[in-house]
Homo-oligomer: A and B are copies of this chain.
């Protein structure tokens, strides 16, 4: 019996709605779940949904924010672990693996709705991922071997890494249960290693 103010309770059912949606989105698309389903899953009556969101799409937008937050947490974790280990690639893939396993829902949501999403949700993910790649590009520019690279090339490399990373994420999620994790992370390291090796011979012309 928590006392809990009215605001707290509101935030809590709001969160319940987000969680309910993510649960339903395990094997469906946002566009294919109904407001009524989400409400029922969250334990409220359909019309009460409108006390929190104007539409399912608005809920989706908030899920994008929430999911991007865990994606950024992952990067922070990776940066922290980086200092310990020597091998940047190995430690990055390790934290990726850990974070994916801890937040499968968020990653799955982002990857699914990235292309399947409707209007605003998809647009939100696109801009967020663009921003995310920009941040990664800045990070990359701090490595000695990349100090001479121009912004465009760094951005290109960041895009490539993000794309490869998202591919690995979905492989991990699909393999959830089967213990293919060590194999998948091994391949992920190889991919990154191949990309990084290209840096040595890079010339920016053409």
Contacts and interface: CB of A to CB of B under 8 A. Distances in A.
A174 B200 CA distance: 33
A200 B156 CA distance: 20
Most central of A111, A190, A193 by chain B CB within 10 Å: A190
Counting chain A residues whose Cβ lies within 8 A of the other chain, the interface size class is 35 or more
Most central of A116, A167, A174 by chain B CB within 10 Å: A116
How many monomers of this chain does the complex have?
2
A175 to B, nearest CB: 12
Contact of A187 (B32, B156, B193): B156
A170 interface: yes
B159 A187 contact: yes
Contact of A195 (B111, B114, B190, B198): B198
A129 to B, nearest CB: 11
Interface in A108-137: 111-116, 118, 126
A153 B113 CA distance: 31
Interface string A167-206: 1001000100000000000010111011111111110001
A156 B185 CA distance: 12
A160 B194 CA distance: 9
A116 to B, nearest CB: 3
A164 interface: yes
A27 B194 CA distance: 36
A197 B202 contact: yes
Interface of A: 27-29, 31-32, 111-116, 118, 126, 153, 156-157, 159-160, 163-164, 167, 170, 174, 187, 189-191, 193-202, 206
23 contacts: A27-B118, A29-B29, A29-B31, A29-B32, A31-B32, A32-B32, A115-B115, A115-B170, A116-B116, A156-B194, A157-B194, A159-B167, A159-B191, A160-B195, A163-B163, A163-B167, A189-B206, A194-B195, A194-B198, A194-B202, A197-B197, A197-B199, A197-B200
